[in-house]
Amino acid sequence: MEGGARGDLGRLVKPWCRPLRVMPRVLRIREILRARGVKGLLRFGFQRLVFRRWNSIVLQDKIGISRQPSVYPEPFRFRIWLKHEQMPVEMRTLVRNSSGGEFLAELDRRDGVWLIEAGENRLAGWGGLYFGSRQVRVLSLPKDAVLLGGGFILPAFRRRGLHRQAVNDAALCLARNGFRHVFSEVHPDNLASLRGLEAAGFERVKQVSLIILLRCVVIDGKRLRRI
C-alpha cells in the first residue's frame, strides 16, 4: 500500500458509505438465514460489511447485435424481463420454491431477470441483469456497464448447454435495447461457467484480486479507492 494510503482511509470512508435500503436487506437476511443457518449468516455479514477478498475473471460481450438467437429443445423456453418487477407472480414463486429466494432478495429495483422454463410449472434455471450495480464500481467498469450474473442451472438440467444459450439470449436482448457494455465475471476456479461464457462469445478482459473494506473501500494492488 502506498505511503499516504493509510492516511487517506479516514477521508475515504467519511461519510460512512452509501445508506443501505432497509427492506431489501431484511428480506435477504431472512433468505440467507433460511438457506445457510446462523453461522452462515454471520460469515456472510462479516464478508459483506467488514472484510472481503474478491477474485474473479471479468469477461465482456464482443459480439453484441450480431448474435443469433438460441434454439432450445422441447420443453425448454427462455424468458427475460429487463425489470424484474415485471415478472409474473407465478414465475417469482417458482424461482423462490426452486431455492432461488436469496437470488430474488438481492435484486435491485433496476435489475432484470432471465428464466428458463422446463415445462409442467418447472424451472431449469435463472440469472440476473444488473444495471448500475455497485459491482460495476468495484470492478472499475464503464458507468453504463450491465453485468450478467447470478446464473444458476438446477442440477437436473445441467450439461445441456442451457446456461450458454441463456447468456447468449440475454446479451442479445441487451444489445437490441442499446446496451453496448455488457460484462460478466466468474471465479477463476469455476471452470464450467468460464467455458460457458466463452462459448457464448464473451472474451476475457482482465483478472482482478481485490480486498474490500467496510463495503466502501477497495484495495486494488497498491491503490486505495472509494466505491
Could you tell me the residue range of the domain that residue 55 belongs to?
5-226
Distance CA 201, CA 62 (A): 7
Q: What is the CATH number of the domain that holds 34?
A: 3.40.630.30
- What's the grid cell of residue 227? 466505491
Least confident span in 156-160, 164-168, 215-219: 215-219
> What's the number of domains the chain is made of?
1
Residue/partner pairs of 46-50 with CB below 8 Å, 24 or more apart = 48/215, 49/214, 49/215, 50/213, 50/214
Average the pLDDT over 140-160 and give the result.
Answer: 96
pLDDT at 41: 77
Q: What digits encode the pLDDT tens for the residues 39-93?
A: 887 887 887 788 889 899 999 999 999 999 999 999 999 999 999 999 999 999 9
Ordered DSSP codes for 182-217: EEEEE-TT-HHHHHHHHHTTEEEEEEEEEEEETTTE
Q: What digits encode the pLDDT tens for the residues 197-220?
A: 999 999 999 999 999 998 888 998
Q: Check: pTM over 0.85? Answer yes or no.
A: no
- What's the grid cell of residue 19? 445508506
> Which of 28-37, 110-119, 132-141 is modeled with the greatest confidence?
110-119
